A and B are shown apart, each in its own frame.
Chain A
Amino acid sequence: GQQVMQIPQYQHVQEGEDFTTYCNSSTTLSNIQWYKQRPGGHPVFLIQLVKSGEVKKQKRLTFQFGEAKKNSSLHITATQTTDVGTYFCAVPPQGSGNTGKLIFGQGTTLQVKP
């Protein structure tokens, strides 16, 4: 079946260091979404990537969609304590038609030491 793997599962960084999480799919994706969940909170939509090789930036966050549309990455430059949380990628299941359903990766939990 379709799998979405996110690595690493956990990452501890010193404030000011960079951080990257990767999302890999076993199948070609139509699009990929990224969400952030703060500790004790709920997932919040960050961005959606649709085009092959697409790169989008939100301040210190850079999102990339692979050329083959099977992988994606989220890179944070110069982390701050406000970046703490779990970052999830989410993809539509293959063959699901237009249901709006998503498969979520396991998430990467980021800890930032001040």
Chain B
Amino acid sequence: DGGITQSPKYLFRKEGQNVTLSCEQNLNHDAMYWYRQDPGQGLRLIYYSQIVNDFQKGDIAEGYSVSREKKESFPLTVTSAQKNPTAFYLCASSVGRSRNQPQHFGDGTRLSIL
């Protein structure tokens, strides 16, 4: 979606290296999410944030970290502790705390190991 920008589109990580994936939104959404997608698989939630300066672990948070210092930005760091980081990473946002709001996705970042 045009309102969510993820960068870079492709990223390569060396062994023992931390890398940070950028996610910026101009939709004025309160909630933001990070998902991991493996080939032929569904989306698994890594972290989510409902408000600035607050975030919660999702189902597969180990080896990842996030920050939410600004409403527009929710960067994801893939740390060296994540032993199998090769995947497609998707950032999404939604209006806020509600069960009935659709999520809007960025174009994703493909991360590979060198």
Chain A interfacial positions (CB closer than 8 Å to B): 6, 9, 30-31, 33, 41-45, 48, 50, 88, 90, 92, 96-102, 104-107, 109
Contact = CB atoms under 8 A, between A and B. Distances in A.
Contacts of A88: 42-43
Contacts of B94: 100
B90 interface: yes
Contacts, number: 69
A99 B42 contact: no
Interface in B23-67: 31, 33, 35, 40-45, 48, 50, 56, 58
A107 B105 contact: no
A30 B107 CA distance: 28
A88 to B, nearest CB: 6
A48 B48 contact: no
A99 B97 contact: yes
Contact of B42 (A41, A96, A98, A106): A106
Contacts of A9: 40
Given A42-B90, A42-B106, A48-B102, A100 B43 contact: no
A102 B96 CA distance: 13
B100 interface: yes
